[in-house]
């Protein structure tokens, strides 16, 4: 795959992730959650102060057929500083997946509200 095509594929996943955050938090605007340019260092989503108050994650997106999950999560952790790392991964023909620290998630599960019939 050409470099340009690979970057476009990554950009699409970043934009999809941005759109999911905006859909999940209707009070936020496109100015609050932005997809960073390809090749820039740091997290893949730039968050405003308002977005950081609602969304506790620093996001790294990887849209690759083969992925070293552990190395990718380490990159995500190094960009997270004092925020929770979230790795969003995707490959062709598969739905995106999210990787977060298991202990962090299980501590918060009892406080999450799942609607009846929601697939978990």
Q: Is residue 120 part of a domain?
A: no
Q: What is the mean pLDDT of residues 53-69?
A: 95
Q: Which residues neighbour 38 within 8 Å (Cβ) at sequence distance 6 or greater?
A: 7, 10, 11
Domain count, the chain: 1
Helix (H, G, I), strand (E, B) or coil at 103: helix
Supply the range of the domain harboring residue 90.
Answer: 3-101
CATH number for the domain spanning 21: value is 3.40.1350.10
Q: What is the mean pLDDT of residues 28-57?
A: 91
Q: Is residue 44 part of a domain?
A: yes
Note the pLDDT tens digit of each residue in 68-112.
999 999 999 999 989 999 999 999 999 999 999 999 999 998 888
Q: What is the mean pLDDT of residues 27-48?
A: 89
The CB density around residue 78, as the number of other CB atoms within 10 Å, is 12
> Can you say whether residue 114 is alpha, beta or left, with left for phi > 0 and alpha for psi between -120 and 50 degrees?
beta
| pTM assigned to the model | 0.87
């Amino acid at each position: 795959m050409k470099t340009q095509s690979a970057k476009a594929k990554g950009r699409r996943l970043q934009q999809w992730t941005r759109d999911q955050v905006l859909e999940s938090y209707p009070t936020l605007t496109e100015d609050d959650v932005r997809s960073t340019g390809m090749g820039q260092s740091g997290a893949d989503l730039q968050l405003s102060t308002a977005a950081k108050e609602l969304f506790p994650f620093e996001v790294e997106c990887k849209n690759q057929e083969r992925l070293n999950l552990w190395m990718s999560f380490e990159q995500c952790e190094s960009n997270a500083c004092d925020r929770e790392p979230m790795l969003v991964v995707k490959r062709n023909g598969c739905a995106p997946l999210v990787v977060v620290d298991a202990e962090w998630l299980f501590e918060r599960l009892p406080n999450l509200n799942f609607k009846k019939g929601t697939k978990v």
